[in-house]
A = this chain, B = another copy of it.
Amino acid sequence: VVRSASPRLARRSDDLVGSLIDSSTSLLAAQRHDVVRFAVGAPNEELIPVDDFDRYFGQPSPGKYDYGSSEGEAHFIETVVELLAAYGEDTRPDRLVITAGGMQGLDIAFKMFVDPGDLVVVESPTYTNGLSTALSYGASVLEVPVDDNGMVVEYLPELVASTGSVPQAVYVIPNFQNPSGTTLSLERRLMLLELVDRWDCVLIDDDPYGLLRFEGRDIPTFRQLDPHNRHVFSVRTMSKILAPGLRVGWIDASPEFRQLIVNSKQAMDTCTNVPAQMAMDGYLRSGSFDSHLAFLRETYRERKHAMVAAVDELLGEDAIHTSPEGGLFLWLRLQGRLAGIDTSELFHLALKRGVAFIPGPAFTRTDRFTDSLRLGYATSNNERIRVGVERLADSLEMVLAQLTGDFP
């Protein structure tokens, strides 16, 4: 019997592009030599309250191993509401659904709002996995440039008009954007709110980093600016402020969408891991969160400055970088002597030499950003950051020598 090679895939499978960021996690885990992990966008172990979590995870609790409610554990939802209130964002239990990290929030948003061919506006560069998820639902993606004040919303009406379509969703990371580290200005936030009202489309407000401001002044969130705007669909996660491996986040959206959010989630994973919700609940109720967050902010601030200092000293005029006021990422563009180096090619050599980053092309579907890369400063202490930037600078010199034929 001659058997056909394999079952037919969906046409959609061409758009299941995956995430270089996530794949770097496996790649790094497989390395046997010392690597400075600038590729990672998460706190490292010393910044996670590991002992506390171990303790809360070990505590008995009724229902801990049973199916949970699809919308999340009721007690945990109350805890999140109180936490948010303490940090200036009023919400209510009927606006929240607990998700498997921020990613599942995005998965649900695109599932609910985007059909194949629908126009979705994203920042350029944007978060790889958000883009992947939009594409997995057949989105037609419009990438809008980012400058030091986030997405250049002023360009948006004309760029959208040129497509001949009205957007079905605008996907934006307003604070310390992944990967650029830039923050959307107040003026642009207000403009965006007007535009999504005009277009009657959803504003997917992906804000994993908002609580991680370590410099400058807070800018009101979309929800603070317009608490009852039904177009705002907010996606949040604890991955960057507590621990990513727990996969716990939430959606904050108009209650009218709650049933559809729950329905979507029931077609994905039934419910979010219950022990993780309970452990996080215990931790948040313990009152340790405020000091932990203050500690994180201060640490991230120091690490950002350590990275900026090393980059400025070692790459000088040959690189420009953003100067984030919070979050985890520095975005770096090669210029001068280093112009023309392809960061995707640089990646392999740099990994061998002991430093990992995410090349710029991972953050776009266009051919832009071959000269750029994302550096995460949260995962390494100041000394390791210095070592990593040295290795990066060395790797750049080697590639440069290869390009110019001037092997050292």
A103: interface (CB < 8 Å) = yes
Select from chain B the residue with minimum beta-carbon distance to A19: B266
CA gap between A274 and B257 in the complex, in Å: 30
Interface string of A6-37 (1 = CB under 8 A from B): 11111111001111001101100100000000
With A107-B267, A244-B65 known as contacts, the answer to whether A50 contacts B60 (CB < 8 A) is yes
The number of chain A residues with a CB under 8 A from chain B is 101
A269 touches B104 (CB 8 A): yes
Contacting residue for A55 out of B58, B67, B136, CB 8 A: B58
A269 touches B247 (CB 8 A): yes
With A55-B58, A244-B65 known as contacts, the answer to whether A270 contacts B22 (CB < 8 A) is yes
Taking CB atoms, residues of chain B closer than 8 Å to A316 are none
A112 touches B13 (CB 8 A): yes
CA gap between A296 and B229 in the complex, in Å: 51
Question: Which positions 35-54 of chain A face chain B at CB distance < 8 Å?
Answer: 40, 42, 44-45, 48, 50-51, 53-54
A129: interface (CB < 8 Å) = yes
With A10-B114, A12-B111, A19-B266 known as contacts, the answer to whether A69 contacts B25 (CB < 8 A) is yes
B16 touches A101 (CB 8 A): no
CA gap between A348 and B183 in the complex, in Å: 51
Taking CB atoms, residues of chain B closer than 8 Å to A274 are 245-247
Shortest CB-to-CB span from A407 to chain B, Å, is 35
With A53-B65, A200-B7, A273-B276 known as contacts, the answer to whether A129 contacts B267 (CB < 8 A) is yes
Taking CB atoms, residues of chain B closer than 8 Å to A22 are 67, 70, 262, 266, 270-271
Taking CB atoms, residues of chain B closer than 8 Å to A229 are 3
B6 touches A230 (CB 8 A): yes
Shortest CB-to-CB span from A80 to chain B, Å, is 17
Contacting residue for A107 out of B65, B112, B268, CB 8 A: B268
A158: interface (CB < 8 Å) = no
Shortest CB-to-CB span from A306 to chain B, Å, is 21
Taking CB atoms, residues of chain B closer than 8 Å to A18 are 259, 262-263, 266-267
A165: interface (CB < 8 Å) = no
Select from chain B the residue with minimum beta-carbon distance to A114: B10
A275: interface (CB < 8 Å) = yes
Interface string of A289-305 (1 = CB under 8 A from B): 00000000000000000
Taking CB atoms, residues of chain B closer than 8 Å to A156 are none
A220: interface (CB < 8 Å) = no
Shortest CB-to-CB span from A163 to chain B, Å, is 16
Interface string of A245-279 (1 = CB under 8 A from B): 11100000010110110111011111111111001
CA gap between A1 and B101 in the complex, in Å: 36
Interface string of A100-142 (1 = CB under 8 A from B): 1101100100011111101000000000010011011100000
A245 touches B103 (CB 8 A): no
Interface residues of A (CB under 8 A from B): 1, 3-13, 16-19, 22-23, 25-26, 29, 40, 42, 44-45, 48, 50-51, 53-55, 57-60, 62-71, 74, 100-101, 103-104, 107, 111-116, 118, 129, 132-133, 135-137, 168, 196-197, 200-203, 229-231, 233, 239, 243-247, 254, 256-257, 259-260, 262-264, 266-276, 279
The 3 closest A-B pairs by CB, nearest first: A58-B58, A18-B263, A245-B274
